[in-house]
Amino acid sequence: MPSLDDLKKRIKSVKSTQKITKAMKMVAAAKLRKAQENAEKGRPFSQKMQNIILNLTKSISDPANAPKLLVGNGKDKVYLCVILTADRGLCGGFNSNICKLAKVNFKKIINEGKNLKIITVGSKGLDQIKREYGKYIVKKFSFKDKKIISFNEAEIIGREIISLFNQNEFDKCILFFNNFKNVITQIPQAQQIIPVESQSSEIKDETLTYEFEPDEDEILEDLLPKNISTQVFKAFLENAASEQGSRMTAMDNATRNAGDLVDKLTINYNRSRQASITKELIEIISGAESL
């Protein structure tokens, strides 16, 4: 059984941890509001861009001449998986949930006899994936030094993906990230960005007809690379909100658990102290009676 001094030190240590987790919860809550606003503002833009691309696709007269980024290269052999995770931990299951979904897809791709290539964005995802799938990783990105992820970072990832595609390094590209729903719920997502999935968006205003200038092919050649970066940036925004929401929930649970542990340790401390006092009284009384 631990001594009174050990219990006192442990209570003090747990209280210090509780203060840290409470402070981290408050910081995450402050960051969450802005991150959530950014994620919600980014959704309509990325969705509208998808709709424009699909409208342009329907207007193409000769599908054989359509850009490869739109329709793919006609092959289905090599898959590039881009895993977007955080560079920091202490955010519950945020990173592990993305990696779990990615690993399920990895196994499916490998079991079907197809080739797998992986790009990791964020050190936490790299740490989890390299243990089992390290030989498939072709590129690693980390933006630890960046306080806020901007569109410039998304363009870096987008240019790398397009460069690999132009070199015929892969046939399909899938993006993995967490979709922010609320503070408690973040849903891991797998979005195919090359070729563009026609069923991923619903075109509204079907009664309207559009006239494009210049030709649809020219617009798509310029718009499709921007769409890749836009979808990556949307994933960054969703991840940022999901990370803060998950960290806020995790730190709230840690704070409450620390409080429960302090209560249990305090009860044990009081019992041990009472037992020690009782023992000393018995010894005094026994000594007095022996005299």
pLDDT tens digit sequence for 198-220: 654 444 444 456 666 676 677 77
Residues marked active site are found at 91
pLDDT class of 15 with cuts at 50, 70, 90: very high
Global pTM value:
0.85
Q: Which CATH class is domain 31-249?
A: alpha beta
Query: What superfamily does domain 4-20+251-286 belong to in CATH?
Result: ATP synthase, gamma subunit, helix hairpin domain (1.10.287.80)
Averaged pLDDT of the chain: 88
pLDDT tens digit sequence for 147-195: 788 899 999 999 999 999 999 999 999 999 999 998 888 999 999 999 8
Burial of residue 86 (number of CB atoms within 10 Å: 0-12, 13-18, 19+): buried
pLDDT class of 53 with cuts at 50, 70, 90: confident
Q: Would 4-20+251-286 and 31-249 be classified into the same CATH topology?
A: no
**Domain assignments of the chain as residue spans, ordered by start:** 4-20+251-286, 31-249
